[in-house]
Structure 1
Amino acid sequence: MTQRTVSMSLYTRTQNTRHSTIIEFRREQTRNHTMEPIQSEPRIYADDPFRARFGHQLPRGLREEARGMEWRTFTNTYAPTGNLRISNLESEARRGGMFHFNATLINNCQGERTTTDAHIMATGPVSACTNLLADAGRRVEILEFHQFDIFEATVTFIYTCNNVSRTWAMGFGGTPEQSAASAMSSAAHLLYG
């Protein structure tokens, strides 16, 4: 980098004598910048992949399991696309704290895809999904339930079990109900394959 020095003289008058004071100003000349690629460093994944991506901390048990995972591995592990999914879960309020739920069950079995419309009365979306999955032979019991709003979506984390296994599952959705249905579908796939 080259510097250009500019000298400037200031004169001050004191009783018929002139004194000169020199002040130096240094200006940096601009240099031509070249576009050089940024040296890449090995990527270090956060202890909490969800917090690194969205700013919310994972539930404790899931955070311990997912420590150091990259995002793609995390989603493939806890939110797989199962062969049986609950989709388009919608509800209408009824008397006595009950809701009428409409859902679409998508079953991909041996390369053949079938969709079934289901209607059920339940006290909430998780209860509706639990009953729909149980009717399909996949009993899922929730041990922990965590739900967050993220931007315009909702994410649900559930710790689930059946008689033999326990697993964490995650689901995203446009509404809390759809997010819970997605998490329940992932849990059923993780527990039953």
Structure 2
Amino acid sequence: MTAPPQPQSRFAELFDAPLPRGLREEVAEMDWTRVIASHSPAGGPVRLRQWECTDAQRPASRLGPQARNYRATIAVGDSISTCTAAGSGPVAALTVMLHARGVPVELLRFHQLDSAAGITTFVRGTDGAHAEWGMGVSDDATESALSAVVACANRLAC
């Protein structure tokens, strides 16, 4: 009888790379389904409803180093509101929006990998008191990253 694949080997099958250091040790005894369920929760108090770059009509090559402007609809618990922020990228803008909504998330680590399953983003974030990993998967790199930040925020809220 063969043992079921460990998360490390399953991850290597998908991405040809090891899990990020720190997460690797945290999920060492979990099967891959449990890793996904625990680090990319479908529910939680923080939910991202809509996302857009409001100055997308200007090509990035014409923007130079200045920040871009973003708008999102974010739910925190039962409260839903539209937020705007400027940031060097979508992840930076989302963390500004979350802070404004009372959800502090400072990113400590960011890993994004591509595979046949899609783009998977792992982020390690802190609320100043403790740190958690979040994970997002999408065919779009930005959606994957934003999902990972929201997953991290929800894990920090628990």
How far apart, in 2, do the equivalents of 1:160 and 1:89 lie? 21
Cα offsets for 1:25-72 (capped at 9, x unmatched): xxxxxxxxxxxxxxxx46523241422444432112111111131122
State whether structure 2 residue 43 is matched by structure 1 residue 78.
no
Letter in 2 for 1:168: W
Please state whether the residue corresponding to 1:72 is helix, strand or coil: helix
Q: Which stretches of structure 1, 4 residues or more, deviate above 4 A after TM superposition? A: none
Q: State the aligned residue count.
A: 149
**1:90 aligned residue:** 52
- Output aligned runs, 1:51-130, within 5 Å: 51-81=12-42, 82-91=44-53, 92=56, 93=60, 94=63, 96-109=65-78, 115-130=80-95
CA gap 1:115/1:56 in 2 versus in 1, 3 angstroms:
farther
Please state whether the residue corresponding to 1:63 is helix, strand or coil: helix
How far apart, in 2, do the equivalents of 1:121 and 1:80 lie? 27
Please state whether the residue corresponding to 2:17 is helix, strand or coil: coil
Letter in 2 for 1:83: P
**2:152 aligned residue:** 187
**2:6 aligned residue:** 46
CA apart distance, 1:133: 0.9
Q: In the alignment, which of 84, 87, 97 is matched to residue 132 of structure 1?
A: 97
Gap regions ≥5 residues in structure 1: 1-40
How high is the sequence identity, in percent, across the aligned residues? Answer: 30
Higher helix share: 2
How far apart, in 2, do the equivalents of 1:56 and 1:122 lie? 30
Please state whether the residue corresponding to 1:60 is helix, strand or coil: coil
**1:145 aligned residue:** 110
* TM-score under structure 2 length normalisation: 0.80
Cα offsets for 1:67-123 (capped at 9, x unmatched): 1311221112111122212244332244543212232313443xxxx6433332211
CA gap 1:43/1:152 in 2 versus in 1, 3 angstroms:
closer
How far apart, in 1, do the equivalents of 2:68 and 2:80 lie? 22
Please state whether the residue corresponding to 1:158 is helix, strand or coil: strand
CA gap 1:150/1:115 in 2 versus in 1, 3 angstroms:
farther
Question: What's the Cα RMSD here?
Answer: 2.3
How far apart, in 2, do the equivalents of 1:136 and 1:158 lie? 20
Higher strand share: 1
- CA radius of gyration, larger in: 1
How far apart, in 2, do the equivalents of 1:128 and 1:172 lie? 19
How far apart, in 2, do the equivalents of 1:115 and 1:126 lie? 20
* TM-score under structure 1 length normalisation: 0.67
CA gap 1:89/1:51 in 2 versus in 1, 3 angstroms:
farther
